[in-house]
Amino acid sequence: MQAHSASSHVQDLLAGLNPEQKAAVTAPGSALVLAGAGSGKTRVLTTRIAWLVSTGQVSPMGLLAVTFTNKAAREMLTRLSALLPINTRGMWVGTFHGLCNRLLRTHHREAGLPQLFQILDGQDQLAAVKRLLKALNVDTERYEPRRVQAFINANKEAGLRAADVEAHDPFSRRLVELYAEYDAQCQREGVADFAELLLRAHELLARNALLREHYQTRFRHILVDEFQDTSRLQYRWLKLLKGPESALFAVGDDDQSIYAFRGANVGNMGELLRDLGLAAPIKLTRNYRSLSTILDAANAVIAHNRNRLGKDLWTEAGAGEPIRHYEALDDGEEARFVVEEAQQLRRDGRDWGDLAVLYRANAQSRAIEHALFSAGIPYRVHGGQRFFERAEIKHALAYLRLLANPEDDGAFLRVVNFPARGVGARTLEALDAAARQGGMSLWQAACAGGTKNKGLAGFVQLIEGLRAEVAGLPLAETVEVVVDRSGLIGHYTHERDGEDRIENLRELTNAAIAFAAESDTQDLAAFLAHAALEAGEHEAEAHQDAVQLMTVHAAKGLEFHTVFITGLEEGLFPHENALTETDGLEEERRLMYVAITRARKRLYLTHAQVRMLHGQPRYGLPSRFLEEIPAGLIQSLRMHKPSAATMRATGSGSGARATGPAAVRFPFAIGSRVVHARYGEGVVAGYQGQGAEAEIRVSFPRIGDKWFILEYAHLTAC
């Protein structure tokens, strides 16, 4: 009777699985499951665990399951509790860092760590690096703390200790020395940063054969989620844990590998097939999320990638509506189109939360946020902050606030030591005391010599210099000068997400241009009031029905009834930086694949002929990804009118397609073929600037893109 009950439970577990899913769940031994978007990956993984336990192939304590987020680990344990009558609390299910921490705590002596070692988060680690540099009297302008931190983490994530790092010049050799000193400091203090957890756990198993054999025997089944996102070191750690008699079951999708900047190595999937001697992956290709028109577009785009294992998604849900493609004259008009379509969808009965707007770079959200805010549509920025609430923007606005009103103590305190200039807590306490005693603002106290601190004196000199420099300048130029002279750009240059933050700072100039055009004023105080009004207090609450805004990276794992993919221009999506990197274009195409497959029923693709960049109009080509989608899947929509900001910046009129800015102001249309006497034949890729400063960008097959001052370009049409 008991055997019949167990057999019935197993049948219940497998009921409802499609043939591909069932083959994956019941695969004997090791397997690589190539799970397409919306194909039921999580269900397969949890059902596999439940099936192994229910069939007596392993006990709950005899398996190890790795996820990439704590949320995914909790979801897996919750699903397992519903599938199995067991207590899941003691199971080894968690993230790489969480499981490595557990391993190191259990074997702290063998790992050379104190039992109660502390874990440093990113800020704690940066503080530790700063203490080290100060103790060693290191020039922090040459060896910027964040750069030293990034160097240490990059090498740890590559599995390299200081002794293993090759240095070919004095600067690199000093970085290696600082890495070694940092490691020694952490060892003395009994602390470990995040990157250290994985590296030390790998080293522990690599050198301790008895311990390695113990865990290889214990974990008869190792299961890995999102395998396409594993780094080289993470895969090496998994291989140490896998014994001769154990099985490794990895689930992932090489077409959704989009985290190379975090160290993800999509090549691990092919390497796993070779290492385990597997003939081919098990493919999950039936999609339960999207209509077939959307899937056909995703399949067509990703098919242009050469280095992939290969699969095509399909569905029985029907074709649905065509994909809507919208070509706007400028980014402001693009944002207004999104708003108009969102309002129509709302009238048709859709909730705001059914709609998502995706973009490649965070800075793109500014124009979309402004359009939604102006229309009174609730929205929420997923996985990030609204434009005017981002830290780097608030820093820039604080500098601007001081120019408009030097008595603003809040603005003063925000940036007096940002970027760092040696104005510490004691100096500020003394300054505050002097201000209180004299009944004056902090700025007045600083100007009156309330402290002899050199950094404070330099700050006063900086602000006074900025005030003199921007006197009489238009609003946008004022913003640009402050962003450039404040030191914010240099500060963020060496941060891991610095490129994103710098793009946001540059976008602030565009925000000033748009504000000046729409309000017909160059007043700095009015712009600061506008920024405050559009800041976070108007963002929708977590429980409120709202349009979702996010980068494509942040959209991974989510799905929506309707998706707008915006900014589909060459140089933006695909991003220009990716075009010079190994596998860069292929990763950008995988990003596009992820973006397309977020949509269930309706998909919009938009791009602009003109986009403001650093306060100048930039004329771009449509993204190659648009051309890779079969024309039969797409319905093209017509443009409306340009935004006031672009009309003023470019001098363009009502925006009829036949007389766009490229045709009126410049001798060659974008996309036309031209010849240069030195570089040969090329394609016109874009323009920027105006009048005598106007430049033309030409893409040459052999040497890439070249910019020429238009007046001296000496180009002829083919």
Q: What is the pLDDT of residues 596-633, one digit of tens each?
A: 999 999 999 999 988 887 667 777 789 999 999 999 99
Pairing of strands 323-330, 379-381: unpaired
Q: Say yes or no to pLDDT of 672 above 80.
A: no
Q: Give the residue-averaged pLDDT of 332-352.
A: 96
Q: Rg (Cα) of the chain, in Å, rounded?
A: 28
Please identify which of the residues 20, 144, 193, 225 carries the catalytic annotation.
225
- Residue 219: predicted pLDDT: 96
- Residue 368: predicted pLDDT: 95
- Residue 545: predicted pLDDT: 92
- Residue 85: predicted pLDDT: 81
Residue 256 among the catalytic residues: yes
**What residue has token string 């990030």?**
384
Q: Say yes or no to pLDDT of 20 above 60.
A: yes
Cα gap 146→143, rounded to integer Å: 9
Q: Say yes or no to pLDDT of 526 above 90.
A: no
Q: Give the residue-averaged pLDDT of 707-715.
A: 81
> Among 355, 435, 425, which Cα is nearest to 599's?
355
Residue 42 among the catalytic residues: yes
Q: Give the residue-averaged pLDDT of 247-271.
A: 94
Please identify which of the residues 22, 26, 42, 628 carries the catalytic annotation.
42
Q: Could you tell me which residues are beta bridge partners of residue 575? A: 571, 572
Query: Residue 537 contacts by C-beta under 8 Å, 6 or more apart in sequence?
Result: none
Whether the Cβ atoms of residue 191 and residue 128 lie closer than 8 Å to each other: yes
Q: In which band, very low, low, confident or very high, does the pLDDT at 716 lie, cut at 50, 70 and 90?
A: confident
* Per-residue b or e along 280-290, where b marks 16 or more CB atoms closer than 10 Å to that residue's CB: ebbbbbbbebb
Please identify which of the residues 193, 196, 226, 570 carries the catalytic annotation.
226
Whether the Cβ atoms of residue 691 and residue 618 lie closer than 8 Å to each other: no
> Among 599, 589, 596, 564, which Cα is nearest to 358's?
564
Q: Give the residue-averaged pLDDT of 404-417.
A: 88
Query: Residue 212 contacts by C-beta under 8 Å, 6 or more apart in sequence?
Result: 205, 206, 240, 241
Whether the Cβ atoms of residue 601 and residue 399 lie closer than 8 Å to each other: no
Q: In which band, very low, low, confident or very high, does the pLDDT at 136 lie, cut at 50, 70 and 90?
A: very high
- Residue 586: predicted pLDDT: 95
Q: Say yes or no to pLDDT of 671 above 80.
A: no
**What residue has token string 């790489």?**
96
- Sheet with strand 282-284: strands edge to edge: 92-95, 63-67, 221-224, 247-252, 31-35, 282-284
Which one has a higher pLDDT value, 90 or 633? 633
Q: Say yes or no to pLDDT of 73 above 50.
A: yes
- Residue 409: predicted pLDDT: 87
- What phi and psi, each to the nearest 5 degrees, are found at residue 328? -95, 160
Q: What is the pTM of this model?
A: 0.82
Q: In which band, very low, low, confident or very high, does the pLDDT at 690 lie, cut at 50, 70 and 90?
A: low
Which one has a higher pLDDT value, 35 or 612? 35
> Among 200, 206, 231, 208, which Cα is nearest to 104's?
200
Residue 225 among the catalytic residues: yes
Whether the Cβ atoms of residue 482 and residue 396 lie closer than 8 Å to each other: yes
Q: In which band, very low, low, confident or very high, does the pLDDT at 358 lie, cut at 50, 70 and 90?
A: very high
- Residue 655: predicted pLDDT: 34
- Residue 253: predicted pLDDT: 96
In the DSSP assignment, the letter for residue 668 is: S
Please identify which of the residues 256, 364, 427, 548 carries the catalytic annotation.
256
Lowest-confidence pick of 121-130, 465-474, 639-648, 703-712: 639-648
What pLDDT digit, counting tens, does each position of 643-659 carry? 555 544 444 433 333 33
- Residue 540: predicted pLDDT: 66
Token pair recorded at residue 46: 């949890």
Share of the chain above pLDDT 70, in %: 92
Number of neighbouring beta carbons within 10 Å of residue 52 = 22
- Residue 651: predicted pLDDT: 45
Cα gap 232→250, rounded to integer Å: 15
Q: Give the residue-averaged pLDDT of 518-545.
A: 78
**What residue has token string 């594993």?**
230
Q: Could you tell me which residues are beta bridge partners of residue 330? A: 610
Q: Say yes or no to pLDDT of 543 above 70.
A: yes
What pLDDT digit, counting tens, does each position of 94-107 carry? 999 999 999 999 99
Q: Say yes or no to pLDDT of 161 above 80.
A: yes
Which one has a higher pLDDT value, 335 or 436? 335
Cα gap 280→278, rounded to integer Å: 6
Token pair recorded at residue 356: 């998502």
- Residue 434: predicted pLDDT: 87
Lowest-confidence pick of 1-10, 285-294, 328-337, 402-411: 1-10
Q: Say yes or no to pLDDT of 577 above 90.
A: no
Residue 708, classified by CB atoms within 10 Å of its CB into exposed (0-12), middle (13-18) or buried (19+), is: middle
Q: Give the residue-averaged pLDDT of 200-209.
A: 96
Please identify which of the residues 20, 21, 41, 650 carries the catalytic annotation.
41
Share of the chain above pLDDT 90, in %: 58
- Residue 447: predicted pLDDT: 87
- Residue 639: predicted pLDDT: 55
Residue 41 among the catalytic residues: yes
- What phi and psi, each to the nearest 5 degrees, are found at residue 24? -70, -45
- Torsion sign across C-alpha atoms 439, 440, 445, 447: negative
Please identify which of the residues 200, 401, 598, 601 carries the catalytic annotation.
598
Cα gap 649→638, rounded to integer Å: 22
Q: Say yes or no to pLDDT of 326 above 80.
A: yes
Q: Could you tell me which residues are beta bridge partners of residue 64? A: 92, 222
Q: Say yes or no to pLDDT of 75 above 50.
A: yes
Lowest-confidence pick of 240-249, 264-273, 386-395, 669-678: 669-678
> Among 606, 37, 599, which Cα is nearest to 302's?
37
